């Protein structure tokens, strides 16, 4: 497919064309010319979109899909299509299927199912067998099969020695350990943040300490072992401070925050709406502000949608019984664009490629064409018809967003919203 993207404003701080409106010529998946008024040719299709902006392709570092085992929630094929239409050229797939992706064959399976898609799937292998926290999984074999990191989704490794061994083991092949932070004993039976709101609603609370204590422990382990650690979806002010201090020491630690933790607080729980039941729980306004500061000062490396499709039978329950999770692809950009500068959004949607050891292609002549197409302007209300996922459990339903992703060009394929 040969294309000319007309009148596109490039958002790429490393490009000499940053913030300039130009035409981009793509031949056989390679950018061959960037300039003004590139003439159309017979073998080229012209792409012209209102207020078109283009950046390096966005990467979502935490995505759950149903397949294998829970295809009623989401399939890999549809999930990748939704990701593409939401602006993501790359996603990291959590090992949340049935069976859990804890072996070479499991990694090979999800990669086969993603073949031919415009959005590239990068599997995360389970850190422990069955994500049960008892025995280290076959990380080296999974790495050879294509796994980009190792972690047990939303499960914290309670055995400190097991995490120590994992951090030491992956250094032989430059592996990345994902260490979700939550002390299960302190969490107990909590379902929301412990504070004024949980007391008012009569719901069992999860103290911020449950996250912070585990992060402190994990950082001590990292300081002892060396290696690389990624702490996903942090949610408290003290967590930001702990990671900032660790980075100042020179530890090789990175972290992410979710879109919904940057936009929402536990005050939205007043109606016991399980769409807002997520892990970690939504925290206070004070926490949200520090998370935002952490994004702006670089302490927080990645923003993720933490996309987790769940069918109605898992969410339309009493709040205590409902499963944690929200879909996030479709609303991610529009929600963040109401809060953050555009350049920061693009930066945080790209940083994970370097952290996870993936290619990050510049928008320059001679480079592979892998980019996101979007319009940063225009306010609109996000409704159920805008949810392309099979499951509809969105924490942003009926909220005002700003700007939309048009789609992507990646792997030689152009995917646009109709």
Summarize pLDDT for 26-44 with one digit per residue, the tens: 999 999 999 999 998 888 9
Confidence (pLDDT) at 307: 98
Taking residues 271-292, report their average pLDDT. Answer: 97
* Percent of the chain topping pLDDT 70: 100
Confidence (pLDDT) at 42: 85
Taking residues 278-283, report their average pLDDT. Answer: 98
What do you get for the CA distance between the two ends of the chain, in Å?
19
Confidence (pLDDT) at 40: 86
Taking residues 288-307, report their average pLDDT. Answer: 98
Taking residues 314-337, report their average pLDDT. Answer: 97
Band the pLDDT of 359: cuts 50, 70, 90. confident
Taking residues 255-262, report their average pLDDT. Answer: 98
Confidence (pLDDT) at 102: 98
**The tokens 């529009």 sit on which residue?**
334
Model confidence at 322: pLDDT above 90 = yes
Confidence (pLDDT) at 1: 81
Model confidence at 134: pLDDT above 80 = yes
366 with 30: CB under 8 angstroms? yes
Q: In the CATH scheme, what architecture does the domain 3-53+365-416 have?
A: Roll (2.30)
Confidence (pLDDT) at 2: 94
Residues with catalytic roles? 306
Q: Can you say how many angstroms the Cα of residue 250 is from the centroid of all Cα atoms in its chain?
A: 25
Per-residue pLDDT of 65-106, as tens digits, reads 999 999 999 999 999 999 999 999 999 999 999 999 999 999
85 with 119: CB under 8 angstroms? no
Write the CA distances from 286 to 26, 70, 237, 238, 291, integer angstroms: 46, 37, 7, 11, 9
Per-residue pLDDT of 146-160, as tens digits, reads 999 999 999 999 999
The domains of the chain are located at: 3-53+365-416, 58-355
Confidence (pLDDT) at 148: 98
Model confidence at 418: pLDDT above 80 = no
Which CATH fold topology does 58-355 show?
A: TIM Barrel (3.20.20)
Q: Which run of H or E residues covers position 405?
A: strand 399-410
Question: Residue 332, CB half-sphere, CA atoms under 13 Å: how many?
Answer: 33
Its pTM surpasses 0.95: yes
């Amino acid at each position: 497919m040969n294309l000319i993207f007309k009148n596109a404003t490039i958002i790429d701080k490393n490009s000499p064309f940053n913030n300039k409106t130009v035409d981009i010529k793509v031949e056989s998946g390679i950018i061959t010319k960037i300039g003004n008024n590139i003439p159309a040719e017979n073998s080229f299709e012209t792409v012209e979109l209102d207020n078109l902006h283009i950046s390096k392709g966005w990467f979502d570092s935490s995505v759950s899909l149903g397949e294998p085992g829970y295809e009623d929630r989401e399939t890999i094929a549809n999930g990748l299509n939704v990701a593409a239409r939401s602006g993501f050229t790359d996603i990291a797939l959590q090992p949340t299927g049935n069976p859990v992706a804890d072996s070479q064959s499991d990694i090979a399976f999800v990669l086969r199912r993603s073949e031919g898609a415009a959005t590239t799937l990068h599997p995360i292998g389970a850190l422990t067998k069955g994500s049960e926290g008892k025995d280290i999984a076959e990380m080296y074999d999974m790495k050879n099969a294509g796994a980009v990191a190792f972690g047990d989704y939303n499960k914290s490794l309670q055995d400190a020695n097991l995490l120590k061994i994992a951090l030491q083991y992956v250094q032989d092949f430059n592996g990345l350990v994902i260490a979700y932070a939550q002390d299960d004993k302190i969490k107990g039976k909590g379902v929301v943040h412990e504070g004024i709101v949980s007391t008012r609603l009569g719901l069992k609370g999860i103290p911020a300490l449950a996250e912070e204590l585990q992060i402190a422990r994990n950082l001590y382990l990292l300081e002892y072992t060396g290696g690389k650690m990624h702490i996903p979806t942090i949610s408290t002010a003290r967590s930001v401070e702990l990671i900032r201090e660790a980075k100042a020491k020179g530890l090789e630690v990175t972290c992410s925050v979710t879109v919904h933790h940057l936009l929402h607080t536990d005050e939205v729980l007043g109606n016991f709406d399980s769409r807002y039941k997520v892990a970690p729980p939504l925290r206070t306004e004070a926490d949200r502000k520090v998370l935002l500061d952490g994004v702006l000062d670089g302490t927080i490396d990645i923003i993720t949608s933490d996309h987790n499709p769940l069918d109605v039978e898992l969410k339309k329950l009493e709040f205590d019984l409902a499963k944690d999770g929200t879909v996030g692809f479709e609303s991610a950009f529009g929600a963040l664009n109401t809060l953050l500068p555009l350049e920061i959004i693009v930066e945080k949607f790209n940083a994970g490629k370097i952290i996870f050891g993936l290619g990050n292609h510049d928008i320059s002549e001679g480079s592979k064409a892998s980019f996101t197409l979007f319009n940063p302007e225009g306010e609109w209300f996000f409704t159920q018809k805008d949810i392309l996922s099979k499951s509809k459990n969105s924490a942003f339903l009926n909220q005002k967003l700003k700007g939309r992703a048009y789609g992507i060009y990646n792997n030689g394929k152009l995917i646009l919203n109709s």
